[in-house]
Amino acid sequence: MKIINCWFGVPYPEPFIVSLPNLKRSEAGSQKTAGSIGSEVRTQRLSLRLSLIFLFLLLTSNFSLPIYGQVWADQVDTLRPGEEGGQQQWFENPSVDSAFKNIDDVVIDLDTTYLYTTDVSQWQGWRHGTFGTSNTIDSVRLVIKARSTATSGSPQLTFGRELWDGEMWGICGEGGGTKTVTLTSTYDSNWVQAWTVDPCDNSPWTTTKLNDDLRAWTFSSTTSMGTLPDSFGLNADSAIENLTLNYIDACRFQMGSVGGTLTDLRLKVDDATISGNIKLAIYTDTTVFGSSYARTKLWADNTGQAIVNGWNSVSTSSVNLSANTYYWLCSKMSATNTVQWKGGVTGEHRWDAEAYATTWWDTIAVNSWDGTNVRKHRYLGVYTTTTLPQDRVTQSFIVVYSHAVGAVVKRKSGLVQDEDNKGVAEGGMAR
């Protein structure tokens, strides 16, 4: 047991020193009677004996005075499996290896390995390997390092202890069983919950309880996850040019690294004297560039609408778009208007004569069309992502504080603090 410098409960800033009595005779001693001198010497000898006895007890026995403030446990153990993982979706059942290894970071690796969820109130349980000690366990601390990729709202994470009741896992609420924190976009905090008793039964910790397969550690997302709008195409311009009436205009664009569901098509018109109507469509593309053609119609507007100066947008039915895949965004106008464009890749802008009133073809071959250049027009395909915001836990581990059986450890209610003074945990008692 480590003893903080103190004397009967009052901390000393300097190391503890037992002061021996001053045996030096004063100058006035020569004036004293023989009896008074003998009495003083006997008192000083008794004081010396008591001081030496007290010092002997401190050095050779478990005798201790009450010590107030922080008293550290004899033993501090961190429970983790010590193996690398990857990125994995949360799931309900506690696991020693397949889940926990993703959040086992002796050296923090942030977004290299983590567990994540996109579901509201999805619980993730985990267990550590077998732990053994003959010590008396003073307290147990659960540490979480997490963040959220959500760009709005107040994403929250709840963590604590859970118990299998024979039919399902349930959160242990006794003794302050859980803690809820608000996540940020970075791993800038160590979130901590500490207990001096097992919250599953509100009784002292034992190694049996720590190793019980029917008890586990857990965390869950309480974030209200929504879809994120995104787009592909050209969202910048450098100049304008005429888009001639009664022509199909088509530009080839690639989706981003995540798929989604198309919600609307857009084309940016930049003309102070607009006229006529517009129809929009989207076609697939082959994977071989050079013989590329927009072969299959995914969705098309055969009704049309009046052209506006700005974004001309039409809502689409549900069209699934694949990640990293090329598509042709197309339009037809009943009158000539100027549109925005920017330089692109040769062959990715094509056009062909086609009456505005004609229904969109199920397949169209662009490699045999009338013309091509590098001026890609400002089309956009707007979609909602199928990859939702994630709450991520990159690190989680258990710290067990204990002392040898028979050792006298005095504690005082208050904050629980690391021995190395690196973090403070709410609840419990000072170790």
Report pLDDT digits (tens) over 43-53: 677 777 777 77
pLDDT > 70? residue 431: no
pLDDT > 70? residue 6: no
d(CA 140, CA 142): 7
The closest alpha carbon to 195, from 229, 168, 159, belongs to: 159
d(CA 299, CA 280): 9
Q: Which two tokens stand for residue 54?
A: 């007290």
431 neighbors 71 (Cβ within 8 angstroms) = yes
Q: At 220, is the pLDDT very low, low, confident or very high (cuts 50, 70, 90)? A: confident
Q: At 90, is the pLDDT very low, low, confident or very high (cuts 50, 70, 90)? A: low
For 238-291, the pLDDT digits (tens) are 788 889 999 999 999 998 877 888 999 999 999 999 999 999 999 988 654 445
pLDDT score, position 81:
57
75-226+389-425 placed in CATH 3.40.50: no
Backbone angles phi, psi at 415, to 5 degrees: -80, 145
pLDDT > 70? residue 12: no
> Poorest-confidence range of 77-81, 93-97, 344-348?
93-97
pLDDT score, position 422:
34
Q: At 390, is the pLDDT very low, low, confident or very high (cuts 50, 70, 90)? A: confident
Q: At 25, is the pLDDT very low, low, confident or very high (cuts 50, 70, 90)? A: very low
Rg (CA), the chain: 37
Higher pLDDT residue, 122 or 217? 217
In degrees, rounded to 5, the angle at the alpha carbon of residue 234 between the alpha carbons of residues 230 and 236 is 105
Where are the domain boundaries for CATH 2.60.120 in the chain?
Answer: 75-226+389-425, 229-385
For 100-112, the pLDDT digits (tens) are 666 776 777 787 8
pLDDT > 60? residue 17: no
Task: Tell how strand 114-117 and strand 87-89 pair up.
Answer: parallel
d(CA 227, CA 385): 6
**DSSP, residue by residue, 247-298:** EEEEEEEE--SS-EEEEEEEEEE--TT--SEEEEEEEE--SSTTS----SEE
pLDDT score, position 163:
86
pLDDT score, position 46:
73
Determine the average pLDDT of the residues in 192-206.
90
Higher pLDDT residue, 232 or 236? 232
Determine the average pLDDT of the residues in 62-86.
56
pLDDT > 60? residue 426: no
> Poorest-confidence range of 14-23, 59-68, 254-263, 312-321?
14-23
Which of 55-59, 147-151, 379-383 is most confident?
379-383
pLDDT score, position 425:
34
In degrees, rounded to 5, the angle at the alpha carbon of residue 314 between the alpha carbons of residues 313 and 318 is 130
Q: What is the share, in percent, of the chain residues with pLDDT greater than 70?
A: 67
User: Which of the 8 DSSP states describes residue 369?
Assistant: S
- CA distances to 105, 119, 182 from 224, in Å: 28, 8, 12
Task: Tell how strand 75-79 and strand 10-11 pair up.
Answer: unpaired
Q: Which fold has domain 229-385?
A: Jelly Rolls (2.60.120)
pLDDT score, position 190:
85
Average pLDDT along the chain: 74
Alpha helices per DSSP H over 173-271: 207-211
Helix (H, G, I), strand (E, B) or coil at 89: strand
pLDDT > 50? residue 66: no
pLDDT > 60? residue 292: no
Q: Which two tokens stand for residue 26?
A: 């004063």
For 116-146, the pLDDT digits (tens) are 777 666 677 787 778 888 889 999 998 988 8
pLDDT score, position 245:
92
d(CA 265, CA 283): 12
300 neighbors 282 (Cβ within 8 angstroms) = yes
66 neighbors 5 (Cβ within 8 angstroms) = no
Determine the average pLDDT of the residues in 10-25.
36
What's the whole-model pTM score?
0.46
Higher pLDDT residue, 423 or 355? 355
Q: At 392, is the pLDDT very low, low, confident or very high (cuts 50, 70, 90)? A: confident
Backbone angles phi, psi at 35, to 5 degrees: -65, -45
Determine the average pLDDT of the residues in 352-378.
86
